[in-house]
Chains A and B, each alone.
Chain A
C-alpha cells in the first residue's frame, strides 16, 4: 500500500466532510483518521478581531508543507496526510488550516497531527495580520509555539 501526502495553500474555503470522505475513499484500509481544524478567533490579546490576513511565500511555503507531510508520513508510518492552509483575508470563525492524518491505529495519527501542527506554528512560512477594532497589527510568534516544536527533535 503506498502512502500519499497532499498539501494545498489556497484562498478558498475547504470542507472537512469532503476532505475526510475523499481520504477514506482513497485509503479504504485505514483504521484511524485524526483531524485538526484551526479557526479565526474573534478575540485575541484582549482585542476584538474583525478579520485575519494570511500572507505566505509562494514557492517556499508549498515546499515546506510537502516536506513536513513527508516527514510525518515517514516518522509515524502514516497511510495518508492532507494539509490545507488558507491564505488571504479571512473572517472570524472561518477555518484557517486543516490537518488530516491517517494510519492503521490511532496513536500514530494523533502524534503525527500534533507534529505537523507544531511545525506549522513555528516554521512554516506564513504571517498573520489581525485587523482589530484598534487597527491592524502583525502577530508575533509566541514562545509557547516555538517551544512546542522542540519536543519533536530526535535525540542524537
Chain B
C-alpha cells in the first residue's frame, strides 16, 4: 500500500522529516510504528519511548491496533497544545 506520512511539530524536528511517501505492507498502525522505529536509534527513541505518540489516519485519530487496509495519509505527532 502507499502511505503518505506526515510528522508535526516537535516530532518533525526530532526526526528531521516533515513528509514522506512510503510503499509498504503492514497490517496495523502499530506495525507501521515498529517498522519506522527499526530505522535507527533516533526513530526508536522518538516512536517507542514513554512519551505519548498520537496517530491520525485520513484525518481521524486512531489507536495502534487500527488496521490499515488501503492507501492512506498517516500523521504522527505529540499531544496537542492548541486553544
| CB pair A123 B80 closer than 8 Å | yes
Which residues 1-36 of B sit at the A interface, judged by CB distance below 8 A? 6, 8-10, 13
Given contacts A57-B75, A60-B56, A60-B59, contact A129 B83 (CB under 8 A): no
Interface size classification for chain B? 10 to 19
Q: How far is the CA of A71 from the CA of B10 in the complex (A)?
A: 30
Question: Are A124 and B83 touching (Cβ within 8 A)?
Answer: yes
A146 contact set on B, CB distance < 8 A: 79
CA distance A140 to B82 in the complex (A): 10
The yes or no answer to B78 lying at the interface (CB within 8 A) is yes
Which size class do A's interface residues fall under? 20 to 34
Q: Report A-chain residues with C-beta under 8 Å of the C-beta of B78.
A: 127, 138, 140-141
Could you tell me which B residues sit within 8 Å of A by CB distance?
6, 8-10, 13, 56, 59, 61, 75, 77-83
